[in-house]
Structures are given as C-alpha cells and as structure tokens.
Structure 1
C-alpha cells in the first residue's frame, strides 16, 4: 500500500523491522524502544491498551533474541524481523500517518553514530605499516612492506 506522499507502508515496516532487530542486540535498544513507544502513541487510533500490546510484542522479541544461544541468533534474527514486519505493517495499515515518522526513525537509526566505528591504537610499530580499511581488503599475491629507509 502506497500512501499519498509516496511511502510504501510495507517497505517502511520492513526497514524499521530490520533496524529494530539490530538494535535489540545492542545497547541502543532502550532508545529504540522509547522511539517506538512515541510512534505507537502518536498513531491516530492508538489507545493506551493497544500501545501497551505493541510494546509487549517488542519486549518479547527483544527477550527472545537476547536469551537465545549465540549459534541460534542469526536464524532467530531473521524470524523476528519477519514477525516485526507483520506487526509494524499492521500498525501502519491502521495508522498510515505514522509512516513518515517511522521511516525517519529507521533512516536515522541506520546512520553510524559519531562514536561508533573503528578505532585503532597503534604503538611500538617500528619497521611495519598499518592498514586500516572500512571494508574487505584484497591484495592478491602482492606483499606490501615498509618503505626502504623509513623507520
């Protein structure tokens, strides 16, 4: 279903579901839950009981993921993402005016935080060089050594 402003509700729900599952495994879960509570409360037909029910479903998913064995998390994450897609899709069907706010939250949550990312501390590194890359690095058969004469 596409809204008047061009948002496909199921695409918004899918993006938000993926972000929620990712946040469930991180310290950012509390802020994600608070954001979802605000979004659920702003839903046009949202009464307190329905908001609490939506939050209970999120809390249950969070608990299931964090209580699962590490070896099961990848598969469970995929299942939870599908369950949350259904939950958020149903919520947006009833409250389509919440789609822009949910999309904005998901888009912002996908952005890397200023403090997140790779941090490297290199000490006592005489006679070698350090390569830091944000993605995969392939050198093939090439061996890179320290430039001659520099130490």
Structure 2
C-alpha cells in the first residue's frame, strides 16, 4: 500500500475508538462519520450502507444495555466483531484506509485529553503495544505491574 497504512491495524484502532465512543455522548457524531465513510465504499448502496450501520447500532445497543459488571468483557467482544466488520470493509475499499485512519486520529484529538496518546504510522514488520492496563490479544496477555494498577 503506497500510504504505508496496514488496513487491519487501522481497523483495530477504529474498532477500539468506536467501542469507546459508544459509551460517550460523542457516539452520534462517530456514527455519522462512519455512515459517510460507508457511503463512499465501492459497493455503496442504500442496502449495504444500512447493513453496515445496523451492525454498529446493534453493537451500540448491546453495550449500553449491558449490566455494568458485564460491560468490560462485552466491550472486548464487540471490539473484535467491529475489527472483522471494518477489516472486511477495508479489504473491499482499500482506498478508504487513510480516511478511516483520519477518523481515528480526529477522535483522539476530541477526547478530553486524559490518558496516553500515541501515533504510530508506517510501522512495517513490527507490532506496537501501548496500554495503560492489562492487554489481551489472542494468545498474548500482558498485565500491568501490580504497583501501577
């Protein structure tokens, strides 16, 4: 890819941002931005855009209707589901990878300024892991040191 962006890394970042936005007041804005992106897809017609949005809306509803005690686990599952959805969308529309990355970057800029910020681009052949707490990705688990929780 000429822009150096890995579609699956972009999809993973976007999935994380969307799940986080689902619990904020900014959800409607994030949803509208995704709708505009879906409409620019190669196979964009009313039905396909509607299907993409229905998946987002269902995830949003599931997360917000879940019990507080189940929310963290559900958020992880939804992030994986959205990764698959967005990864498939980007495979069909590789030209929109930079646009989705821009949406992720814009979301990072509109947050309240809390937490760690990182911007990793053109990262070829390596993985970057930045976490404020425990991280679980497939068969790999990294836990925050006991004194830093």
* Range of TM-score over shorter length: 0.7 to 0.9
In structure 2, C-alpha distance between the alignment counterparts of 1:85 and 1:62, rounded to whole Å: 14
Match of 1:37 in 2: 35
Output the aligned Cα RMSD. 1.5
Cross-structure match for 2:18: 20
Taking structure 1 as reference, are residues 6 and 117 closer, same or farther at Cα in structure 2, changes over 3 Å only?
Answer: closer
Matched residue SS, 1:111: helix
- When residues 5 and 29 of structure 1 are mapped into structure 2, their CA distance, relative to the original with a 3 A threshold, is same
Task: Select 2:88's aligned residue among 70, 73, 90.
Answer: 90
2:53 and 2:80 map into 1 onto residues whose CA distance is 17
**For 2:48, what is the secondary structure of its paired residue?**
helix
Contiguous gaps of at least 5 residues in structure 1: 119-134, 136-151
* Corresponding position of 1:55: 53
Residue 59 (structure 1) shift? 0.1
- Equivalent in the alignment of 1:76: 74
After superposition, what is the alpha-carbon deviation per residue over 1:60-111, rounded to whole angstroms, capped at 9, x for unaligned? Answer: 0000000000010000000000000000000000011111110000011012
Unaligned runs of 5+ in 2: 115-131, 133-149
Alpha-carbon contact 1:44-1:97 (below 8 Å) kept: no
Q: Deviation above 6 Å: which 4+ runs of structure 1? A: none
Q: Distance in 1 between matches of 2:113 and 2:21?
A: 16
- Give me the TM-score of the superposition, normalised by structure 1: 0.72
Name the SS of the counterpart of 1:12 in structure 2: helix
Identify the residue that residue 142 of structure 2 maps to in structure 1: none
Contact 1:17/1:88 (<8 A) preserved:
yes
Number of residue-to-residue matches in the alignment: 115
